[in-house]
Amino acid sequence: MATQRMLDFLATRRPESPCLVVDLDVVQENYHAFEKALPDSKIFYAVKANPAPEILRLLASLGSCFDTASIAEIEMALNAGATPERISYGNTIKKERDIERAYALGIRLYAVDCMEEVEKVARAAPEARVFCRVLTDGRGAEWPLSRKFGCVPAMAVEVLRRAKALGLDPYGVSFHVGSQQMELAAWDSALADAQAVFAALAAEGILLKMVNMGGGFPTRYLRDVPAAQAYGQAIFTALRKHFGNRLPETIIEPGRGMVGNAGVIKSEIVLISRKSDDDELRWVYLDIGKFGGLAETMDEAIRYPIATGHDGGETAPCVLAGPTCDSADVLYEKAPYPLPLALTIGDEVLIEGTGAYTTTYASVAFNGFEPLKAYVI
Ligand SMILES: *Cc1c(COP(=O)(O)O)cnc(C)c1O
């Protein structure tokens, strides 16, 4: 939801549409909520969710660590004031020369999910800490991460054993339960898998130390979501259940949950039309679409709340689309979106909960449209 600071900024500055406005106070509140919900876990903000320098600087000053996926993201975190030991290279898919560059920048914590990658890390980042990512089924997530990342627990045991043999520090296990994860229980089965890897390696004298419990913490879109505190409790209970009194070090990597509700996009209605005279369904075209930053509407997965100046009036379902000349640039059609009948061309709307996964998803210049502008206040 738009905060008063966002509304004041939009009213006084009248920035050109479309644009994103991010309220740093909300990011700070979210950071403290995660700290409170999981006081024993270190927070590694997933930089990809929103790498605006102001956000990274704020989080660095609050003591956050950073999960990065590329040299550019590592450099952004360093420039924001994070020291190398507060940065993990969490992408399981890295060029060997990028691992070398990261190592030269002082990064000593790397993600792997197969033999081939652990061999690369051993060559390019000698003696570094590695954690192995295990697969999860992604059930309960509105933006699941599927089988692209991670391996089965039995293979994680082999990978970490190999890490040890290659002179690396086999440090732990990671997983990601899928983004916008609505099931508190999702962490339970992933932690069971992580514990199985710990136990198998402990039996051969390899003592892992850390579980990276990933992201997945949701942002409120159209439906209520459980609070960070509820996730914290469920996760702590699952940790106790699987690890007993010997709790490992833990880290979490919130992305969406850290910045999603900290942003709103101001957009303008470019066109409202129908496909025939007796067509009930209106087509509403915004000045932002899939290529302007709303890529997470792919498969209509993420459904953003949209506030208009006519809220409270009578509504009817619309097909909502972006302004570009690509027919894929339709946001909601399978499940039409209810919008006020009073809406007219030129009206401004606010697309809420858009602080995460928007600016960086915007195309460079498809159809000549500029990347999404952001104002961080
Ligand atoms: C994207 C990503 C995250 C953040 O996920 P959210 O669901 O946005 O919290 C965390 N960890 C890794 C490894 C990621 O790739």
Judge if the beta carbon of residue 248 lies within 6 A of ligand 1. Answer: no
Judge if the beta carbon of residue 296 lies within 6 A of ligand 1. Answer: no
- Taking the centre of ligand 1 as the mean of its atom positions, its distance from the CA of residue 66, in whole angstroms, is 11
Give residue 277's pLDDT: 94
Give residue 7's pLDDT: 98
The radius of gyration computed from the CA coordinates of the chain, to the nearest angstrom, equals 22
CATH superfamily of 261-376: Lyase, Ornithine Decarboxylase; Chain A, domain 1 (2.40.37.10)
Give residue 329's pLDDT: 98
Give residue 142's pLDDT: 82
Give residue 57's pLDDT: 98
Q: Report which of 319, 142, 138, 318 is spatially closest to residue 219, judged by C-alpha positions.
A: 142
Residues facing 286 on adjacent strands = 269
For the question of whether the overall pTM of this predicted structure is more than 0.85, the answer is yes
Give residue 298's pLDDT: 95
Task: Pinpoint the alpha helices (H) of 166-312.
Answer: 186-202, 228-243, 256-259
User: Structural domain boundaries of the chain?
Assistant: 24-259, 261-376
Give residue 140's pLDDT: 81
Contact 175, 214 (CB under 8 A): yes
Judge if the beta carbon of residue 217 lies within 6 A of ligand 1. Answer: yes
Level-2 CATH architecture, domain 24-259: Alpha-Beta Barrel (3.20)
Tell me the C-alpha to C-alpha distance, in Å, between residue 124 and each of 49, 151, 158, 305.
Answer: 27, 22, 20, 45
Give residue 139's pLDDT: 81
Give residue 198's pLDDT: 98
Low-confidence ranges of the chain (pLDDT < 50): none
